[in-house]
Amino acid sequence: MPRPHGFACATDGDGTVRITHHDRAAATLRGPRAARFLSEVAAGDPQLVMARWTGNYRRGTERTAREHPRNRR
Which pLDDT score is estimated for 28? Answer: 94
Instruction: For residue 63, give the 3-state DSSP assignment.
Output: helix
Tens-place pLDDT, residues 14-73 = 999 999 998 999 999 999 999 999 999 999 889 889 988 988 666 555 566 667 777 776
| Averaged pLDDT for residues 6-15 | 93
Give me the phi and psi of 39, to 5 degrees please. Answer: -70, -35
The letter for the amino acid at 55 is G
User: Which has more confidence, 52 or 3?
Assistant: 52
Query: Taking the model in full, what pTM does it have?
Result: 0.71
pLDDT at 55: 81
27 to each of 1, 39, 68, 72, how far by Cα in Å? 23, 17, 32, 34
